[in-house]
Amino acid sequence: MALFKRRNKPPEEPDSPSAPEPEVTEAIEEVPPEGSAGVPEAPAAPPAGEYRKVRIERGAKGWGTGLTIEPKAGKDLIYSVTGGGIHPVAQRIADLTGGTPFDGFKSKASFDEIAVAVIDCGGTARIGVYPMKGVPTVDVIGSSPSGPLARFITEENFVSGVGVEHISLVE
């Protein structure tokens, strides 16, 4: 809890002499940013060109046995295809591994450059596209294999229901 001093100026009365301003000290509770509860802080990123391995476990109502991801030179994109920029799950993976976060809606990259795709699909399209192309896929929605590309989704290339709290550094 942090203490801050706030000076409150009393209302001025027309014919009264000027009195010193009283000092008021109040306690203000520091609140962690939303969504950060239970998530350990990311260690410092590895030096440029070096990568670390992470384990990504399935979340509540998720599917899969989990994935271990380690980017490498030339295949270091943490590809976020969730709309609205880089998803917090993709950012956490990038922070821990040293990979490069990449917004798949704003620009495109070759499947060969993608270390992992982070999606938000509970339907039939994106859920199977990346597994079909051999790209490990993390779905932030608790979905299971479905749609015409379901045959490409396996426990070796797909995990779902993932939140930032399901990602940990492999030592």
Mean pLDDT per 10-residue section of the chain, whose length is 171 residues: 47 52 48 52 77 96 96 97 94 97 95 97 85 96 92 96 97 85
Contacts of 110 (CB under 8 A, 6+ apart): none
pLDDT at 53: 97
User: Parallel, antiparallel, or unpaired: how do β-strands 114-119 and 137-139 relate?
Assistant: parallel
Which residue reads 């790209």 in tokens? Answer: 135
Q: Say what the pTM is.
A: 0.75
Round to whole Å and give the CA distance between 143 and 159.
Answer: 9
User: Residue 138: how many CB atoms within 10 A of its CB?
Assistant: 31
pLDDT at 29: 43
Catalytic positions, written as ranges: 121
Which ranges constitute the DSSP H helices of the chain? 88-97, 126-132
pLDDT at 19: 54
Round to whole Å and give the CA distance between 171 and 149.
Answer: 34
SS3 at position 3: strand
Q: Residues of 92-111 as b/e, b for ≥16 C-beta within 10 angstroms?
A: bbbbbbbbebbbbeeeeeee
pLDDT at 39: 61
